[in-house]
Amino acid sequence: MSEDNSQSATEHAQLTAIRNQIDSIDKQIQKLIGDRAACAHQVAEIKTQGGKTDVVFYRPEREAQVLRAVKERNESLLPDKEMAKLFREIMSTCLALEQPISVAYLGPEGSYSHSSVIKQFGTSAHPVAVSSIEAVFDAVAKGEVNYGIVPVENSTEGEVKATQDELLKSNLQVSGELELAVDHCLLSMAQSGDKITKVVAHQQALGQCRQWLKNNLPMAQLEAVSSNAAAAKMAQEDSSLAAIASEQAADLYQLPILEYHISDSKENSTRFWVLGREVVAPSGEDKTALVISIKNQAGALLEVLQAFADRGLNMTRIISRPSKSKNWDYVFFIDVLGHQQDENLKAALQEVQQHAEFIKILGSFPISPL
């Protein structure tokens, strides 16, 4: 036997041994996942006992606690977030066993909103594409879907005005929050960059990759289209085109990724909110979103801010928007750490009420562990 062969025989024996170990571990994992699913089934029976019909199966506060615990006890070679993602998927299938969950998002398929549905609910949820942010609110309010997901704020572009304006009118609850890295890729059927004559993408994506395009595809024409997902569809049919879109869009439209991470700012990310019809219980690490209009008197806004500051409550965001009821009249959207059932936040909100003409709690929800 040559040295090479003997080496590969040793390697073969080593691989066989470790693969046997993997097989045995997989068997145990499978058995335990099956046991976990049986528990979820029992949870559903408990939730529906006595013939209850208005049952809430999805419990974001519990999911956040499970995922935080997974990250906390992780001592493996896998990063905390990757380990949490695996459990995100396990819970997604367990929840689907209790009740299939439908989630409306701003389509088309392959958009960043679509990715946010999968990140928050896992792949067992049913994403339902609708054509506007207003339509997401509508679908949840009418009970056509269980939940909705809307973009709230982009790290480079700022707040999403349509979402803020709908929140002001709506009676829905903000039930969750997640942040999604907006990491653009260049997708094309072309064999190489020099075969690309045109780059298609949503105007915003073209803007976010302007420098990269100038440096790497200086000769290509740039064309703005309705969405990045629509651009991916076009690139699928014409190999002289390249689209800017997400890795998920590449998967969906079966387009090769010629280049990853082409955004000029590597930190570009969007925050999304989950919209539901139920109030979410405290998870231990929560945030509360509210909207207020203040009395037209000197120092009223300062009094509001003071009510939070006096109690050591961390305000993570404040933005103003026209109230739309009177010219030059504004409302303030405020995010503060804590749950509306926490004693100190409750007291702060009562004090805020004294200085506000109007106050609406949009919801308390878990800070995302993902």
Contacts to ligand PRE by CB under 6 A: 40, 43, 57-59, 62-63, 66, 91, 94-95, 98
Buried-exposed string 162-198: b where 16+ CB fall within 10 A, e elsewhere: bbbbbbbebebbbbbbbbbbbbbbbbbbbeeeeebeb
Q: Which one, 59 or 184, has the nearer CB to ligand PRE?
A: 59
Sign of the alpha-carbon torsion through 223, 228, 234, 237 = positive
Q: How far is the CB of 180 from ligand PRE (least distance, A)?
A: 20
> Shortest gap between Cβ of 273 and ligand PRE (angstroms)?
17
Q: Would you state the structure tokens that stand for residue 262, as one six-digit string?
A: 């082409």
User: Could you tell me the CA-to-CA distances from 147 to 60, 277, 285 in Å, in that order?
Assistant: 12, 8, 22
Would you state the structure tokens that stand for residue 240, as one six-digit string? 């002289």
CB of 60 to ligand PRE, least distance (A): 7
Q: Is 270 among the catalytic positions?
A: yes
**Among the listed residues 324, 302, 272, 333, the one whose alpha carbon sits nearest the alpha carbon of residue 114:** 272
Closer CB to ligand PRE, residue 41 or residue 214?
A: 41
Cβ atoms < 10 Å from Cβ of 255: 22
Least distance CB 286 / ligand PRE (angstroms)? 16
Catalytic pick from 137, 272, 308, 332?
272
Query: Min. distance of Cβ 61 from ligand PRE in angstroms?
Result: 9
- Distance between CA atoms of 229 and 159, rounded to whole angstroms? 22
* Residue with Cβ nearer ligand PRE (91 or 182): 91
Q: For ligand PRE, give the closer residue by CB, 48 or 170.
A: 48
By beta-carbon proximity to ligand PRE, the closer residue of 40 and 319 is: 40
Q: How far is the CB of 70 from ligand PRE (least distance, A)?
A: 11
Specify the residue, 63 or 166, whose C-beta has the smaller distance to ligand PRE.
63
Check 270, 308, 332, 365 and give the catalytic one. Answer: 270
* Residue 290 CB, nearest approach to ligand PRE (Å): 25
Tell me the residue nearest to ligand PRE as measured from the CB.
94
Given the complex with ligand PRE, which of 124 and 353 has the nearer CB atom? 124
The residues that are catalytic are 270, 272
